[in-house]
């Protein structure tokens, strides 16, 4: 027993001496680990982007954990508070408050705790890739959600030169589909989505 302990002690001393003799070992390992974590983060973003564009590729009985809705508790807010948050977010991003209200109404019916079967979450139904893109830490936080959704919508409007129909189509079905069909994709869900929001924004007689 004593001999075994002595051997273990000697091995530990040797390891310490080797590490001390090569001070670059720890730094090298730290750099390697940082590189690995960076690659893993990049892979998660790429997979999320693929899943958003081609959800059928990943919708299996053993869906990856990153596709599951985040296990975050959600506390509903009053309708008045929700409207105020939406209007403030729209103004911060530089969008018409009526437009953002219409999108929220269509996406979640003003329910900050809404979660779709595809993994979209919150008032503006943010997909995981959008949450990553805009640094959302809690998709059920109404302010974070509206800010990120409004930023995405603003980007799409800029991308399509202010063409609202295309921007809304891209928000619903993804820019790839809009590019593929040169406009509103002929999917019933997207057509109804775009026409419903445009109807909400049109002057009522």
Whether 80 is a known active-site residue: answer no
d(CA 198, CA 61): 37
First to last CA, the chain: 94
Q: CA torsion angle for 90, 203, 190, 188 (degrees, to 10)?
A: 160
d(CA 114, CA 108): 6
How many alpha carbons lie under 13 Å from residue 198 in its C-beta half-sphere? 14
Contact 147/86 with Cβ under 8 angstroms?
Answer: no
Angle at 151 between CA 108 and CA 193, to 5 degrees: 40
d(CA 169, CA 175): 8
Find the catalytic residue in 37, 52, 80, 107. Answer: 107
Question: Which residues, other chains included, contact 194 with Cβ-Cβ below 8 Å and sequence gap of 6+?
Answer: 165, 168, 169, 172, 184
Backbone φ and ψ of 115, nearest 5°? -140, 125
Q: What radius of gyration do the chain's Cα atoms show?
A: 24
Residues with a catalytic annotation lie at 107
């Amino acid at each position: 027993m004593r001999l075994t302990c002595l051997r273990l002690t000697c091995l530990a001393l040797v390891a310490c001496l080797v590490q001390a003799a090569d001070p670059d070992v720890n730094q090298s390992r730290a750099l390697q680990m940082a590189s690995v974590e960076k690659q893993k983060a990049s892979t998660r973003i790429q997979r999320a982007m693929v899943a958003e564009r081609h959800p059928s590729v990943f919708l299996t009985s053993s869906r990856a954990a990153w596709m599951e809705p985040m296990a975050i508790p959600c506390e509903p807010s009053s309708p008045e508070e929700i409207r105020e948050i939406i209007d403030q977010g729209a103004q911060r991003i530089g969008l018409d408050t009526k437009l953002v209200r219409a999108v929220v109404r269509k996406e979640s019916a003003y329910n900050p705790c809404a979660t779709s079967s595809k993994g979209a979450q919150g008032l503006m139904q943010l997909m995981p890739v959008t949450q990553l893109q805009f640094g959302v830490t809690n998709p059920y936080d109404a302010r974070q959600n509206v800010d990120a959704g409004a930023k995405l919508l603003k980007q799409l409007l800029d991308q399509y030169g202010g063409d609202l129909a295309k921007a809304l189509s891209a928000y619903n079905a993804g820019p790839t589909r809009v590019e593929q069909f040169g406009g509103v994709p002929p999917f019933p869900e997207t057509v109804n989505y775009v026409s419903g929001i445009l109807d909400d924004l049109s002057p009522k007689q």
